[in-house]
Structure 1
């Protein structure tokens, strides 16, 4: 039978402490368990490793050679543990993230910039994709997702809330006579929609007001939808986090809130994720809540 690595390390402890009792104390075991481990090791090897007496112990020739190799194995083992602990605690290496396109510009890119400013040795790989991705197959450390989740096997936590509202340019709103008191009047406005919204586009504005509209313009790019809305092409559903600049510059005006959707992060680490993942989540959470 092949000797146990655990028994080999018990043997090293006995040799270095020159005592079964001291080795037992150091390993938090009984003296009997330590003695049995060494006896078992000698049996597995088919040779005597130690000369024992009631007052002392010494290595046999075979034991001397074997101790040298066991010590090397212990040192390699300790180095491996030290390296993996350091790599998990250090913010270095490569961080791979996947996120919906809508979150990239307003929150993800600024978060990456802040993280890299704090830890310039860290490399970041960003995969912007609205479709769910296999975290393991794509070697992704962290996925940011909005709304319902398909990857339930991952470790999931809520990160924040994505609020979406109907926006139009102040000029377009003026042309329509202002924001109507009767929200059903919005049926007669020109609508700009993202492809993911489907046909027709459905809006649950209040408990009693639900709109079904056929958009005049459809895009698969949020950037283009924002630009068209700022230019007065119609009314569009936009994430609030993407409209700050347009609202501050007078190019956009909020008509009304239409949805509040949870934002989650997920990963496949069975225990605490590496420091680089934890730090990114911390900065991202601060960015979303600022």
Structure 2
């Protein structure tokens, strides 16, 4: 029979303790069980490894050579286990993240820049996508999502809130004779919508008013929606952190606030995610706080 790795480690413990009794104590086994393991090992190998007496033990020539191999195997084993345990604590290797376009420019990209500068051994992969993704199939470590979520097998935690408002160009507002005092009249304005917003469009305003509309233009790119809105094609629901610069430049005007949408992060790790994932989550939270202050 082939010698078992467990018996080899018992033999190693006996040699290093220079005693069956001490080895048994260290292994938390009986002296009889330790002795049987060494005897079984010698039988499986077909050669004597130890000279035993009531007062001492010593290695045979074969035992001395075999001990060196057992020591090497144990060192490799310990190194492999330590490597696995520590790999999740190192900010190195690869980190794959998916996030909606609305958060990429103001939040995700700044977080990536900081981590890339602070941890040059970390390789980051960003998948900008507004649609749900299969985290396993896409090999994604961390998913950032906005809005309500369907039932998930992934671990989900809340990151914060994304403020959103309806925006339009100054030209469109002037053309339609200004912002109406009765916000339900916004349903008669031309609307630009993202594909994920559904049909018909439904806006729940902070005031509690609900607005329904049929979009004039639908688009799956936030960047394109912003451009179309600036061009005066219609009114659009945009994240405040995206539209803020446009408002400052005078190309967009806020019409009214929409109820804030929750921001979540998701992962498939059974316990706590690796340190690199936790660090990225903290970086995102920091960027969100910065955006909320500006």
Q: Please indicate the TM-score interval, normalised by the length of the shorter structure.
A: 0.7 to 0.9
What is the match of residue 196 of structure 2?
Answer: 196
Alpha-carbon distance between aligned partners in 2 of 1:141 and 1:30, rounded to the nearest angstrom: 46
1:110 equivalent in alignment to 2:147: no
What is the match of residue 146 of structure 1?
Answer: 146
Q: Which digits, 9 at most, give the CA deviation of each residue in 1:221-251, with x for residues without a partner? A: 1112112223333311012221221133233
What is the match of residue 179 of structure 2?
Answer: 179
Structure 1 counterpart SS, 2:212: strand
What is the match of residue 251 of structure 2?
Answer: 251
140 and 243 in structure 1: CA distance in 2 versus 1, 3 angstrom threshold: same
220 and 139 in structure 1: CA distance in 2 versus 1, 3 angstrom threshold: closer
Alpha-carbon distance between aligned partners in 1 of 2:203 and 2:233, rounded to the nearest angstrom: 19
Equivalence map 1:1-290=2 (5 Å)? 1-29=1-29, 31-45=31-45, 47-149=47-149, 152-205=152-205, 209-290=209-290
41 and 134 in structure 1: CA distance in 2 versus 1, 3 angstrom threshold: farther
Alpha-carbon distance between aligned partners in 2 of 1:193 and 1:270, rounded to the nearest angstrom: 37
Structure 2 counterpart SS, 1:243: helix
Alpha-carbon distance between aligned partners in 1 of 2:138 and 2:115, rounded to the nearest angstrom: 22
In the TM superposition, residue 45 of structure 1 has moved relative to its aligned partner by 4.1
Structure 2 counterpart SS, 1:3: coil
Alpha-carbon distance between aligned partners in 1 of 2:271 and 2:2, rounded to the nearest angstrom: 32
110 and 208 in structure 1: CA distance in 2 versus 1, 3 angstrom threshold: closer
- Report the number of matched residues: 290
Runs of 4+ in 1 over 6 A off after TM superposition: none
TM-score (norm 2): 0.86
Q: Which digits, 9 at most, give the CA deviation of each residue in 1:230-282, with x for residues without a partner? A: 33333110122212211332333322222322222222222332222221111
Structure 2: stretches of 5+ with no match in the other structure = none
Alpha-carbon distance between aligned partners in 1 of 2:151 and 2:45, rounded to the nearest angstrom: 49
Given that residues 51 and 59 in structure 1 are in contact (C-alpha distance below 8 angstroms), is that contact kept between their aligned partners in structure 2? yes
Given that residues 145 and 264 in structure 2 are in contact (C-alpha distance below 8 angstroms), is that contact kept between their aligned partners in structure 1? yes
Alpha-carbon distance between aligned partners in 2 of 1:84 and 1:289, rounded to the nearest angstrom: 34
In the TM superposition, residue 173 of structure 1 has moved relative to its aligned partner by 3.4
Alpha-carbon distance between aligned partners in 2 of 1:214 and 1:116, rounded to the nearest angstrom: 43
Structure 1: stretches of 5+ with no match in the other structure = none
Given that residues 160 and 264 in structure 1 are in contact (C-alpha distance below 8 angstroms), is that contact kept between their aligned partners in structure 2? yes
Alpha-carbon distance between aligned partners in 2 of 1:148 and 1:35, rounded to the nearest angstrom: 63
Alpha-carbon distance between aligned partners in 1 of 2:259 and 2:217, rounded to the nearest angstrom: 21
260 and 208 in structure 1: CA distance in 2 versus 1, 3 angstrom threshold: closer
225 and 36 in structure 1: CA distance in 2 versus 1, 3 angstrom threshold: same
209 and 87 in structure 1: CA distance in 2 versus 1, 3 angstrom threshold: closer
Of the structure 1 ranges 69-78 and 47-56, higher mean CA displacement relative to structure 2 is found in: 47-56
In the TM superposition, residue 44 of structure 1 has moved relative to its aligned partner by 4.5
Structure 1 counterpart SS, 2:250: coil
71 and 203 in structure 1: CA distance in 2 versus 1, 3 angstrom threshold: same
- Cα RMSD of the aligned pairs, angstroms, is 2.6
Given that residues 132 and 150 in structure 1 are in contact (C-alpha distance below 8 angstroms), is that contact kept between their aligned partners in structure 2? no
